[in-house]
Amino acid sequence: MSEVRHALSRSQGGGVGDFVLAVLRRSGALVEDLGYAISEAVLPESLVQDFGAEHLLMAFDQEVAAENAGSALVAHGSPLLDAAVRLGVRYGRHTRLYWPGMEPSPPRNLARRVQDAIEYRRCRSPQITLTWAAECLYYLFNFTCTLWSYDKQETLLSVAVNGHTGIPCPGLGQRWEALVPADSPAYELGKAALRPLAELYAVARSEVEAQAQAAALDYRRESDRLFKRDTRRTRQYYEGTIAELIRRKEAAKDPGRSERAEQQIQAARLDWKRRREDILARYRVQADVRLDHLVAWAVPCVFAKVRVQHKSSLLEHVVLYNPVTGEVEPVRCPRCGKATRSLAPADDKELVCPEH
């Protein structure tokens, strides 16, 4: 009975299309899906300069672009995507907040923390060979989640993603709330490289979908209760009506009466079926999730180069310690890009997650 529909992913060529449309909507453009992998947008005046036109016909698939004269293909490397990314980043900057502390130093027991946070399978204990601090941007994607059933309910769902690793950071929000962030940094540090915003957005979107499912489930409990109540009442009513009609039919002395009663029974059954469908539609839960706004949190983090030994080979990789959460974060598997807290040596060359 529940159905989580992603207002953004209904469209268009996966992550890239979703991202561009979300940024345009967020910026006040009028966006309409025209069909598979094709959308049009009418831009507000403030965006015309960024996109070079007031009206955009966007195709998110090469074939669709070829079939639609006048459409612009939106894909990695296309000017339109670049313009959308610039716009998205600008929003991030508008609401960029800084950790109020000075440059963090590595915690004394960092090696122990790394060992507790990450499992190195078939390796000797990890050693830290180098540490440095750099500013890391965390993006907080804020989504509006609308749930519909017998009434409408709106909630804000937020997902924090580490912009450097592309890994969700669920513990950060609560810790950040307890701080008084600064408008400018109190530290002077280099910046850790950022992954493309469209990719971070795709990570946030899949996270928020799970959150929306959970919210819909909560909401459904109440909806289910009312659904059962209405179904029970309807059943009592129709069962009573039909039983009465059957009695009348059986007691009928002439065939005309008996036939009329039979017709009434059939009509009551049909009515009941329609009523059941109405109730089902009334209490079906639908969820719609839309990107609302983006906030960037700048956090000076400690990076540590970790060396482990597997047989006779030495393997190295970098882990990240976040001073706000006090946590060594999960690492990104170099093969599949998934977050992991468990690594194993592969081909004596790199450390990869257990999926390989």
Q: Where are the alpha helices (DSSP H) in the chain?
A: 14-26, 45-51, 62-67, 79-94, 110-117, 172-177, 197-251, 255-282
- Provide, rounded to whole angstroms, the least separation between the CB of residue 335 and Zn ion: 5
Between 88 and 330, CB nearer to Zn ion? 330
**Among residues 215 and 333, whose Cβ is nearest to Zn ion?**
333
Nearer to Zn ion by C-beta: 173 or 337?
A: 337
Q: Count the neighbouring beta carbons within 10 Å of the beta carbon of residue 126.
A: 21
The answer to whether the beta carbons of residues 289 and 206 sit under 8 Å apart is: no
CB of 354 to Zn ion, least distance (A): 8
Give CA–CA dist 8/92, Å, rounded.
19
Query: For residue 319, with 0-12 CB atoms within 10 Å meaning exposed, 13-18 middle and 19 or more buried, which class applies?
Result: buried
**Minimum CB distance to Zn ion, residue 45 (Å):** 46
CB of 338 to Zn ion, least distance (A): 5
Decide whether 101 or 337 has the Cβ nearer to Zn ion. 337
Tokens of 208: 């928020």
Residue with tokens 């989580």: 4
- Among residues 302, 215, 304, which one has the least CA distance to residue 2? 215
| Min dist. Cβ of residue 64 to Zn ion (A) | 32
CB of 334 to Zn ion, least distance (A): 8
Nearer CB in complex with Zn ion: 110/319? 319
Shortest separation between residue 111's beta carbon and Zn ion, angstroms: 24
CA 139 to chain centre: 13
Q: How far is the CB of 201 from Zn ion (least distance, A)?
A: 21
Q: Which long-range contacts (CB under 8 A, 24 or more apart) does 43-48 make?
A: 47/87
CB proximity list for 221: less than 8 A, separation 6 or greater = none
Q: Which residues bind Zn ion (CB under 5 A)?
A: 333, 335-336, 353, 355
- Minimal distance, residue 337 CB to Zn ion, in Å: 7
- Measured from the CB atom, the residue of 117 and 346 that comes closer to Zn ion is 346
The secondary structure of the chain in percent helix, strand, coil, rounded to multiples of 5, reads 40, 30, 30
Q: Are 158 and 173 in contact (CB under 8 A)?
A: yes
Q: Which is nearer to Zn ion, 94 or 338 (CB)?
A: 338
Tell me the DSSP string of 162-206. ETTT--B-TTHHHHHHTS--BSS-SS---B-----HHHHHHHHHH
| 3-class SS of residue 246 | helix
Residue among 265 and 352 whose Cβ is closer to Zn ion? 352
| Cβ closest to Zn ion, residue 8 vs residue 353 | 353
Residue nearest to Zn ion (CB): 333
